[in-house]
Structure 1
């Protein structure tokens, strides 16, 4: 499958929404209209930190997306790019779409002078981890979270 990765644009809401629904379902997260619209408003707001890209196949179908944002790296005194979300449609998996999305994010980071690309995935997402082990380095950091 041949894919092109490009930045998300104002008119991409409905095809992106289909993928975002699949992403939410994959991670068993309830998706409301309000939540989807809020995330989309962040993506298209040039004053918001969140940005994104979409993978489009040769038929013009959206087959994957990634959302990312810059973050300060205090111990390095520089800036990195954090990939918050990466999703590939079920029928496009293992066709290089995830790699193409990460390559796009890496080039985006380079073009903005960011020094590192970081992302996380679920511990049981072994399919994604196969790709991630090829394109990145698994770290020794442990992630925590707390409700506020």
Structure 2
């Protein structure tokens, strides 16, 4: 199976939604219609920071997606690209889809003169970490979060 990665477009909502449902299920996050529509509105709003791309297989089926946004990096005085989400459908894993999505994000960053590409994944997501260890460098930073 080969995949082509391209930016998400206005007419991609329903095929993307199927993947976003799988992504939400993978991370055991409840997905409501309201949440899905809000995220989609961010993706297609050219004035919003969030952007995304989709991996499409030979049959035209959506088999993966990534969502990313520009982030200022104060200590280096430049801008980087942060990959918020990356998901590959189970039937398209181990076929280079995740790598193709990461390569797309890297090329997007280069095209926009962003100086770095960063992302996080769950500590127990060993499958993703195998790819991420190949395409990037594991950092020593510890991530925290707090509800507000």
Mapped to 2, the partners of 1:43 and 1:139 lie a distance apart of 28
Q: How does 1:52-91 map to 2 (within 5 A)?
A: 52-91=52-91
| Cα drift, residue 124 of structure 1 | 0.1
Q: Which runs of 4+ in 1 moved over 4 A?
A: none
Confirm or deny that 1:122 pairs with 2:125.
no
Confirm or deny that 1:40 pairs with 2:40.
yes
Mapped to 2, the partners of 1:21 and 1:48 lie a distance apart of 22
Mapped to 2, the partners of 1:119 and 1:49 lie a distance apart of 16
Per-residue CA deviation, residues 12-62 of structure 1 (Å, 9 max, x unaligned), is 000000000000000000000000000000000000000000000000000
Mind listing any 5+ residue stretches in structure 1 that lack a counterpart? none
Mapped to 2, the partners of 1:35 and 1:110 lie a distance apart of 30
TM-score (norm 1): 1.00
TM-score (norm 2): 1.00
Paired residue total: 148
Mapped to 2, the partners of 1:77 and 1:35 lie a distance apart of 33
Mind listing any 5+ residue stretches in structure 2 that lack a counterpart? none
